[in-house]
Amino acid sequence: MARAECNPNYVDAVWAFYRFIPSTAANTVFIVLFGLATILHFFQMLRTKTWYLTALVAGGVAELIGYIGRLMNALQKPGCWTLGPYIMQNVLILIAPALMAASIYMILGRIILLTEGERYALVKRRWLTKLFVTGDVVSLLMQASGGGLMAINADLMKIGEKVIIGGLFVQLAFFGFFIVVAGLFHYRMRQNPTSEASQPRIRWQIYLATLYVTGALIWIRSLFRAIEFIEGNMGTLMRSEVYVFVFDGMLMFIVLLWMNWFHPSEIGLLLRGDEPIRNGLELVMMKRIGSGRDKATESLSSSSEGITVPSYQRA
């Protein structure tokens, strides 16, 4: 990749890749954190065959590669940053949460299935995944294309920023509505729980808490990025790397770490009639995942629509 022309006045230039010197140490730390969390998620996904979490793992990989690109720029002379690593970090760190969100959306349908709470869902299960994943894909494509436009030149920067802002607001809207749907289901189920939801080992409220925590973190992060791009390339939020680390990198790492511990594969185990787990790390120690019963349930890994699954199988 050809080196960009050096601009020693990158802090006050009309347009610059960075208006600060990227931190070598901090970006290295995030590479290690995202690398470890993503490797664990990959192993957990393989052990439990929860293939719908592929998007979550892909989001972790995107974060990892994005911060590698950021480290590559950090190792270059300030103001002489090359385009390739900048595009890596600008696009991949931007779209990673949208990839994670796709898997998070699919968890609610499985909670509804496990508790047989279809009647309490504002959006029917057969449409739930389609609706929110479609919105997520639209958001992802807008953010990716906008990030690519920003990296070309200063003339396309404004257009790219507007496209990214639009994509972020699409994400904010869909995730906000998703939390409303989950919250309403939660309220209705608590008012009149089904017999399946009353089973002590079906921790459906903890599963929903995972949706709230991860959803809120992604929503806050997306709001931060929307404000950042509304301010523009010369805005306050783009003049310090601390904001990105605190309101993007750290929040997304917590999302991965939270789901490492409260791993949604427990829902699949219960649907198959297997014993539940206490935390996601137990998956690493388990010798066997799945009893072989109700194998059709695992087709939920790609979609939860149009499948009839028997009631919760009691041990």
Report how far residue 87's alpha carbon sits from residue 91's, in angstroms, rounded to the nearest whole number.
6
Report residue 269 as tokens: 């185990």
Report the run of H or E that residue 143 belongs to, with start and end: helix 125-150
Q: What is the pLDDT of residue 61?
A: 98
**pTM higher than 0.85:** yes
Q: What is the pLDDT of residue 286?
A: 64
For the chain, the domains span 24-288
Taking the mean position of all CA atoms in its chain, how far away is CA 197?
27
- Residue type at 295 in one-letter notation: K
Q: Helices 154-191 and 125-150: crossing angle, nearest 10°?
A: 160
Q: Could you say which architecture CATH assigns to the domain 24-288?
A: Up-down Bundle (1.20)
pLDDT tens track, the chain, 315 positions: 444 578 888 998 888 889 999 999 999 999 999 999 999 999 999 998 899 999 999 999 999 999 999 999 999 999 999 989 999 999 999 999 999 999 999 999 999 999 999 999 999 988 998 999 999 999 999 999 998 887 676 677 788 889 999 999 999 999 999 999 999 999 999 999 999 999 988 999 999 999 999 999 999 999 999 999 999 888 999 999 999 999 999 999 999 999 999 999 999 888 888 888 888 988 877 655 444 433 434 444 444 444 344 344 433
**Residues, the chain, total?**
315
